[in-house]
């Protein structure tokens, strides 16, 4: 069974023992589904857990869908903004380009920068991982340098930041937020609530008519006032907390997602049969349950916590 969202308990019960499931499973949010998959003897692969190694890039559904969201976030912002994005020199006067600030430069952030640049905006971007500075520059944007220590975690992800770090970050980024016409926030730390980068006071300092799109809305939001799934207006500033933007571009989101899933499935097949090789980094990395067992250490830890 190949799915986008985790199955319901009833769907799991309908699966044959030995069946294979590939889907986003969000094991940290669906312990009951993971337990049901194990007891039903389903071999389940969680797309979130596909290792981010070169060989698995074509199976990386988190990246393909984040790219769609990053692109669409800028179009949403441009649609709401009562201004042009590009510099225009016309007989009726000169239009200055929109200023876009992107906070968090992972896959979605990079696509947001590229899209805003293509529309002609002046773009600034910031991330707690200075390693992304060259990528930001190569897209024609400016990397915002803050006098803060880097927060590099493992595997190219950000480390969890202290509340003191985030307080100083908010202080330092405040002027950049205040002068932006559009802020796109994408900051995340795997397995944690999204950090708060923009407070209510910072929103109030922005010019009326400015727009924030908070791509972290689903995991708690990077903006203090974000309402997941809604667009609200505070002091004339729109804060768009749209969820799962990939669903708003179904053609290409589906095309990329299906390629991710089929590549993962076909990598498990040898001579027309599914053969699982647990010495393979990809199988070991994203297989959650197999033959009635929880085979993923993270899932095991999760279920032990939920029992306690
Ligand atoms: N196959 C591959 O090699 C591959 C594929 C995809 C992604 N990656 C890498 O994985 C990493 C994570 O990408 P992702 O898009 O999943 O990231 P993510 O969704 O986990 O986080 C988005 C960004 O938010 C940043 N962030 C976290 N806290 C922040 C804060 N307080 N302020 C500002 N920014 C903050 C992170 O550093 C990250 O760049 C990147 O280095 C990416 O290049 C590698």
Residue 288, C-beta contacts closer than 8 angstroms, at least 6 positions apart: 25, 27, 34, 37, 44, 45, 46, 49, 294, 295, 296, 299
* Mean pLDDT to the nearest integer, 138-151: 94
- Tokens 């179904």 belong to residue: 250
- Which among 147, 199, 205 is positioned nearest to 180, based on CA atoms? 205
DSSP single-letter state for residue 197: -
| pLDDT value of position 29 | 83
| Rg of the chain over all Cα atoms, to the nearest angstrom | 21
Measured from the CA of 129, which atom of ligand 1 is nearest? 37
Evaluate whether residue 1 is within a structural domain.
no
Q: What is the residue range of 26's domain?
A: 9-60+249-307
Structure token digits, residue 241? 């907390």
Evaluate whether residue 3 is within a structural domain.
no
Q: Same domain for 287 and 139?
A: no
- Which among 202, 261, 249, 209 is positioned nearest to 226, based on CA atoms? 202
Residue 202, C-beta contacts closer than 8 angstroms, at least 6 positions apart: 170, 173, 174, 177, 178
Q: How do residues 167-180 score in pLDDT, each as one tens digit?
A: 999 999 999 999 99
Please check the confidence at residue 297 and state whether its pLDDT lies above 90. Answer: no
- Tokens 């010495």 belong to residue: 279
CB 144, CB 124: distance < 8 Å: yes
CATH number at residue 286: 3.40.50.720
pLDDT bracket for residue 28 (50, 70, 90): confident
Q: How do residues 183-213 score in pLDDT, each as one tens digit?
A: 999 999 877 889 999 999 999 999 999 999 9
Evaluate whether residue 184 is within a structural domain.
yes
Ligand 1 centroid from CA 77, angstroms:
22
Handedness of CA 69, 70, 75, 76 (dihedral sign): positive
Please check the confidence at residue 306 and state whether its pLDDT lies above 70. Answer: no
**Catalytic residue list:** 52, 57, 60, 63, 157
Domain count for the chain:
2
Ligand 1 centroid from CA 176, angstroms:
21
What's this model's pTM, rounded to 2 decimal places?
0.93
Please tell me the distance from the alpha carbon of residue 108 to that of residue 91, in angstroms, as a whole number: 37
Ligand 1 centroid from CA 234, angstroms:
29
Evaluate whether residue 2 is within a structural domain.
no
83/160: higher pLDDT: 83
* Mean pLDDT to the nearest integer, 40-56: 95
Q: Same domain for 155 and 270?
A: no
Please tell me the distance from the alpha carbon of residue 104 to that of residue 307, in angstroms, as a whole number: 35
Measured from the CA of 54, which atom of ligand 1 is nearest? 1
Each residue of 140-158: b (16+ CB within 10 Å) or e? ebebbeeebeebeeeeebb
Q: Same domain for 128 and 56?
A: no
Identify the residue whose C-alpha is closest to ligand 1 atom 41: 156
Ligand 1 centroid from CA 87, angstroms:
30
Please check the confidence at residue 307 and state whether its pLDDT lies above 90. Answer: no
* Mean pLDDT to the nearest integer, 49-57: 94
| pLDDT value of position 301 | 77
Ligand 1 mutation target, pool 71, 161, 188, 199, most atoms within 8 A of CB: 188
Q: Same domain for 22 and 125?
A: no
* Mean pLDDT to the nearest integer, 9-38: 93
Ligand 1-lining residues (CB < 6 angstroms): 52, 57, 60, 62-63, 66, 103-109, 126-129, 156-158, 161, 169, 186-190, 195, 197
| pLDDT value of position 11 | 96
Please tell me the distance from the alpha carbon of residue 134 to that of residue 142, in angstroms, as a whole number: 10
Residue 33, C-beta contacts closer than 8 angstroms, at least 6 positions apart: 6, 7, 8, 9, 12, 25
CB 123, CB 141: distance < 8 Å: yes
Average pLDDT, the chain: 94
Percent above pLDDT 70 for the chain: 98
Ligand 1 centroid from CA 103, angstroms:
11
Please check the confidence at residue 300 and state whether its pLDDT lies above 80. Answer: no
Q: Same domain for 80 and 199?
A: yes
Please check the confidence at residue 305 and state whether its pLDDT lies above 70. Answer: no
* Mean pLDDT to the nearest integer, 34-41: 95
| pLDDT value of position 302 | 66
């Amino acid at each position: 069974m190949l799915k986008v969202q985790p199955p319901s308990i009833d769907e799991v019960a309908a699966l044959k023992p030995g069946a294979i499931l590939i889907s986003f499973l969000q094991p940290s949010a669906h312990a009951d589904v993971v337990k049901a998959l194990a007891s039903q003897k389903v071999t389940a692969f969680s797309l979130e857990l596909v290792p981010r190694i070169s060989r698995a890039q074509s199976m990386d559904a988190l990246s393909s869908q984040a790219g769609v969201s990053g692109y669409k976030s800028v179009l949403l912002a441009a649609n709401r903004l009562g201004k042009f994005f590009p510099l225009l020199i016309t007989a009726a006067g000169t239009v200055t380009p929109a200023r876009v600030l992107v906070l968090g430069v992972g896959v979605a952030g990079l696509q947001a920068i590229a899209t805003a640049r293509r529309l002609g905006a002046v773009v600034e971007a910031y991330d707690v991982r200075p390693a992304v500075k060259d990528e930001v520059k190569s897209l024609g944007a400016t990397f915002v340098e803050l006098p803060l220590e880097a927060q590099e975690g493992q595997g190219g992800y950000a480390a969890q930041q202290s509340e003191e770090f985030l307080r100083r970050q908010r202080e330092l980024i405040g002027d950049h937020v205040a002068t932006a016409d559009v802020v796109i926030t994408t900051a995340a730390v795997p397995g944690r609530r999204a950090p708060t980068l923009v407070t209510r006071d910072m929103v109030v300092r922005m010019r009326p008519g400015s727009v924030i799109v908070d791509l972290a809305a689903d995991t708690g939001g990077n903006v203090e006032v974000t309402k997941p799934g809604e667009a609200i207006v505070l002091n004339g500033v729109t804060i768009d907390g749209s969820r799962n933007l990939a669903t708003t571009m179904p053609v290409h989101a589906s095309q990329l997602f299906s390629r991710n899933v089929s590549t993962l499935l076909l990598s498990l097949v040898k001579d027309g049969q599914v053969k699982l090789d647990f010495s393979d980094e990809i199988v070991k990395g994203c297989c959650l349950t197999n033959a009635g067992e929880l085979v993923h250490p993270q899932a095991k830890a999760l279920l032990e916590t939920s029992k306690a």
